[in-house]
Amino acid sequence: MRYTLSMIFIVVLLLFMPYDGFAVQFKTPGQSLVPGTISIGKHPSYIDPDKPAIVFVQGLTNNSTVWYVGNDMYDRALQAGYQTAFVELNDSGGTPKSYWENGAMLAEQLEEISAHFGGKKLVIVAFSKGGVDTQVALIHENKYPLVSNVITLSSPHYGSELADLANSMSLGWLTGLIGRNSEGTKSLQTGVMNYFRSITDNRYEASQNRYFTLSGTRNAPISSSYWFGSNFISGPNDGVVSVASSQLPYSTTLAIGDWNHSEINKGYNTFSIFQPYLTTQKAAVSSGVMEPRRVKSKPLDSLVRGGKQKGKASESFYVEREAEHLVINWMSATPHDRVTIKSPDGSDREYRVTAVEDHTLFFEGAYHHTIDISEPAAGKWTAETVTDEESAYALMVTFDSSLNEQLVLEDVDNKKNWMLNTNFEVRSKAKRHADIDMSTEISFTPGDGREDQRQGQQRNFKQSGKAVNLPSEEGTYHMTVEVEGTTPSGQKFQRTVVETIFIDDEGMAY
């Protein structure tokens, strides 16, 4: 057989090209956002064999553009001499899935990326839920040998209270209408994530990679959606994820900075902080770093209502004399330019408001309309809006009141039983708990938390009284607790508490 020079050249070229798996699957960043796609970044001017390749993993509702559109993270990594890869998970197609499904997809992508880079070690930089997806791929799908270090940027390792809120009875209409009550959101409920930690952190695979975390604490200004989120999250947080949730028992905290959730993944904010830990195994300096903590209970400071809307929608609530300040947030699927507020004296006031789009991931597609009221009169208040469109709404009232610290819903039996405790400063012990009513709506989804293994459909049931008692059936219990009562001074008050608990097949609650 005779060979032409051109044929010989092609054969030699193929022999010396690095193996990249199924090359037809690889794209350039931004070329395709289809789930399952892998994009390979530009080669740096000099490829340092000692530098790992960085795999950037997106967060909930994101696609890979979160790293290079309005963000210089990709550019900074390239200029620093790193080869890069970007993945598209289920969220890229507009259908966020649980970390079980995303993690399985990511595991396959890591195999192909590793082959493309000739088997050199990979480092993962993951944003938000991408950090949890990553742990499924490395720990539960056994891809840890392909990776050295993992950097997580505000990942909800213990879930987010906003995921609990999105699944509450009050906000179910709204999140359903805007399409945000996804499997991805449900998987990040705090009880479900506490269970995930219990079956993940004690595995051998969890100790085979070095984990480094960064957290944010900024949620201002008051008119932003991040401020709204912070009202339902215990402790310092970035408006979506708390500092405590963003850390792992075996991770090293690199920074807790003044960033909100949309700022922590920006290259100009954090690349220089985690860059030294892409290629080395040295420990981070822990001076001044806040230790992870789990908050046992949260004082009652909020009220939540919601439902469907077409035409006029109104909600009433009571304010006690102890309240010094109110923030009223009318959140809806349609924007408004005014909200009517009726005060206890019967007078109406029409507030001009700015419709602020939500950026908290769990409620994107909704609008916040915020009204700030100082020294509110005690008594019955009403908020009202009008729209001609098919819509849904949620009224959220945050109380700055001395009463908040005197009302606590806390678990008394490993989260299976809950009790409302009041600490009113009165002489009679009997009056400390008198005149308080509590009603609880519970939605229950059976199963072990993996979407493809759940048996049966969601069931709803109610309980009344100052205690909540959960059955022992395996599954997720979402509690929306409504508290109403009278203060020692005779003023009526109302509050709402949202909690999610997961019970495993042995009856243990998380």
Structural domains in the chain plus CATH codes: 22-159+193-279 (3.40.50.1820), 299-398 (2.60.120.380), 402-510 (2.60.40)
Q: DSSP 3-state assignment of 398?
A: strand
Q: How far apart are CA 126 and CA 148, in angstroms?
A: 14
Respond yes or no on whether the N-terminal peptide bond of residue 221 is cis (omega within 30° of 0). yes
pLDDT given at position 302 = 94
Distance of CA 333 to the CA centre of its chain: 20
Q: How far apart are CA 420 and CA 412, in angstroms?
A: 10
Q: What is the pLDDT along the chain (510 residues), one digit of tens a residue?
A: 444 544 444 444 443 444 444 444 799 999 999 999 999 999 999 999 999 999 999 999 999 999 999 999 999 999 999 999 999 999 998 889 999 999 999 999 999 999 999 999 999 999 999 999 999 999 999 999 999 999 999 999 999 999 999 988 888 878 877 777 789 999 999 999 999 999 999 999 999 999 999 999 998 777 788 888 888 898 999 999 999 999 999 999 999 999 999 999 999 999 999 999 998 664 444 433 334 444 456 678 999 999 999 999 999 999 999 999 999 999 999 999 999 999 999 999 999 999 999 988 889 889 999 999 999 999 999 999 999 999 999 999 999 999 998 888 888 878 899 988 887 765 455 555 557 889 999 999 898 777 554 445 788 899 988 889 999 899 999 999 999 998 887 889 999 999 999 999 999 999
Residue 145 per-residue DSSP state: G
Q: DSSP 3-state assignment of 58?
A: coil
What global pTM score does this model have?
0.89
Residue 299 per-residue DSSP state: B
Report in angstroms the alpha-carbon separations of 414 from 26, 158, 419.
48, 17, 12
Distance of CA 406 to the CA centre of its chain: 28
Q: Are 105 and 143 in contact (CB under 8 A)?
A: no
pLDDT given at position 17 = 45
Q: DSSP 3-state assignment of 378?
A: coil
Strands 348-352 and 338-342: what pairing?
antiparallel
Amino acid at 66: V
Report which of 317, 492, 478 is spatially closest to residue 394, judged by C-alpha positions. 317
Buried-state track 9-27, b at ≥16 Cβ within 10 A, e below 16: eeeeeeeeeeebeeeeebb
